[in-house]
Amino acid sequence: MHTKTTLSAAFALLTALPAAAADLTVYTYDSFVAEWGPGPALEKMFEARCGCDLEFLAAGDGAALLGRVQLEGANARADVVLGLDANLVAAARDTGLFAPHGASLPQAQVPGGWDAPTFVPYDWGHFAFVYDETRLAEPPTSFDALLNAPEDLTIIIQDPRTSTPGLGLLLWVEKLYGDRAGEVWAKLEPRIVTVTKGWWEAYSAFLEGEATMALSYTTSPAYHVIAEEDGTKKAAMFEEGHYLQVEVAAALASSQAPKLASDFLAFLASPEAQGVLPTTNWMRPAFPTVEPLPEAFDAFQPETSLAFSVDEAPVAREAALERWMEALTQCPAPGAARRRPHDARGFTPRALGARIRDEDPAVNDPAAFAEVSVAARGLFALDFLLFDPDREGVAADAAAYSCRLLRAITADVAANAAAIEADWRGGYAAMMTTPGPENPLYASPAEASAEIFGALASGLEAVIDLRLGRPLGTFDRPRPRRAEAWRSGRAQRNLVLSLAALAQLSEAAFLPELAPEDADAVRAAFDRALEVAARIEPPLAEAVAEPSRRLGVEAARTTSRDALQAVDEGIGGALGLEAGFNSLDGD
């Protein structure tokens, strides 16, 4: 493989223009293009109308779309972006990357009306926490009730930096509580099982039983009623009101097919296209449809609709995100979607305990075990089974089954690792190192380099926020059991290995092409971060709680931040990115 040579060439050719593989390319989010989403039907309908080739490209959930087009700038592969929402419209408008569509559209039918002419609304809904009535008999009826619910009521939410539902929840809390929002997040935090990158990961985990409720939409239960004939999924209706989401699409100014882009946006607002959305995207249409909505859509309608205006949202987001980050210092880096290593709500212990108690036969079948809840699989589960102090002296029969469970988990981890390596060597590496017009993932060297830069930047943010920020907490309230793998005492070792891997990635992908002084600055920053991290006296979980040793952990976070700044300025500057920009920022 000529990975280093190819990546260096990709870095040097960042300004190369990608060649479009279709007459019209639309960036959108993953669930939109799924076989059960609206993408396939809309593609077929529009191609029949225009006699052209339409291509939908999944480019991350909604908020990540904006990050991608900002990164690609005038070299964007797409003509249209579909999946931003009203909370991102001002930020998208201010990039200058979007153009007026020029299409003649009917009056949009969204709460509060619509007045952002460059952006075409196509559906809307209200955020809500969805629950299963077979698992939760008495759901909270207000946000305050959620905050004061029994301790075993858990939730899954999305990251507001990468997810439009996550951003919606952030602004929902901000709208209701204002300056008290930080207190609300601090009170919610112990209930949060995981913070995911996007909506689908969160809702799937909820459906698998990993939490009591998940952030979704008031229209989500309609899917279960119509598609599955299942009436057990409900939206918890809050008396304070629910936050509104309006999803939008817009044409990029760099499009080589502006007339076709305008035609597509007009088509998206047509009764025929709007009629597809309710029972595929499970949202309310923004324009009239031929047929009325199914009755299931009327089951959960909030009495009060909450929202910031298009221009208020960016200001509110900045203040809200700062409060969120301060309260949830354990949150992973954008896009990382990592689960709680400390498992404060006891989800991993409960999942493992249930299997040990029932002697789940899935341990005897690797295929069956691969379908087991992720809470009972992976390295965190191994860490618990092998090192949790409360498991000493377990009964002999439970110990015998635990050994079988350990073997099953280990085999499952090995199988996943082998599958990842096979996927990499079997095609993904070749696609990343040979970008071009025929490449289904990377149409230009710029796209491949941007992907690697995003991994490097988000990896460093994971070190800062996850591996160090979580256990550090505050001086008055350190959180040692939020250290990664605290039971086995591997947190400091994992920290050093992570920094070393990121340093190697920067060296292989970018540093040979930088000016010598810039490359040396990045190397020096990584060397310093590694030196300080290596000096932390393990276990890290104990170090954060002892004032004399805590200073070393804080120094490691500072030097890791310095490394991120060096990457931003040295590598990001050469790539044309602003310092601090993360390519994964953005549903």
CA 212 to chain centre: 20
Q: In terms of domains, do 22 and 152 share one? A: no
Q: In terms of domains, do 279 and 228 share one? A: no
Q: In terms of domains, do 508 and 561 share one? A: yes
Supply the pLDDT for residue 222.
95
Does residue 56 fall inside a structural domain? Answer: yes
Burial class from Cβ neighbours inside 10 Å (0-12, 13-18, 19+) for residue 266 reads middle
Rounded CA-CA distance 586/301 in Å is 28
Q: In terms of domains, do 449 and 581 share one? A: yes
Q: Which CATH number do you get for residue 187? A: 3.40.190.10
Q: In terms of domains, do 191 and 154 share one? A: yes
Rounded CA-CA distance 103/94 in Å is 21
Q: In terms of domains, do 152 and 16 share one? A: no
Supply the pLDDT for residue 163.
84
Supply the pLDDT for residue 244.
96
Residue type, 314: P
Supply the pLDDT for residue 322.
81
Does residue 203 fall inside a structural domain? Answer: yes
Q: In terms of domains, do 203 and 281 share one? A: no
Does residue 386 fall inside a structural domain? Answer: no
Supply the pLDDT for residue 375.
74
Domain that includes residue 232, residue range: 125-244+305-327
Does residue 101 fall inside a structural domain? Answer: yes
Supply the pLDDT for residue 523.
95
Q: In terms of domains, do 286 and 311 share one? A: no
Does residue 517 fall inside a structural domain? Answer: yes
Q: In terms of domains, do 584 and 483 share one? A: yes
* In 148-198, alpha helices (H): 164-177, 181-188
Number of domains in the chain: 3
Does residue 426 fall inside a structural domain? Answer: no
Rounded CA-CA distance 473/330 in Å is 8
Rounded CA-CA distance 271/275 in Å is 6
Per-10-residue mean pLDDT of the chain, 587 residues long, equals: 36 36 85 90 96 88 76 85 92 92 85 89 96 95 95 90 88 94 90 84 88 95 94 96 96 94 95 96 94 94 94 89 72 40 54 83 91 82 84 62 91 89 83 82 82 89 89 84 88 94 94 91 95 92 89 92 92 65 36
Does residue 496 fall inside a structural domain? Answer: yes
Rounded CA-CA distance 314/309 in Å is 9
Does residue 432 fall inside a structural domain? Answer: no
Q: In terms of domains, do 90 and 159 share one? A: no
Query: How many Cα atoms are found within 13 Å in the side-chain-facing hemisphere of 206?
Result: 29
Q: In terms of domains, do 93 and 134 share one? A: no
Q: In terms of domains, do 466 and 579 share one? A: yes
Task: Write down the pTM of the prediction.
Answer: 0.60
Nearest to 270 by CA among 293, 249, 288, 246: 288
Cα-based torsion angle of the residue sequence 178, 179, 182, 187 in order, rounded to the nearest 10 degrees:
-70
Supply the pLDDT for residue 210.
86
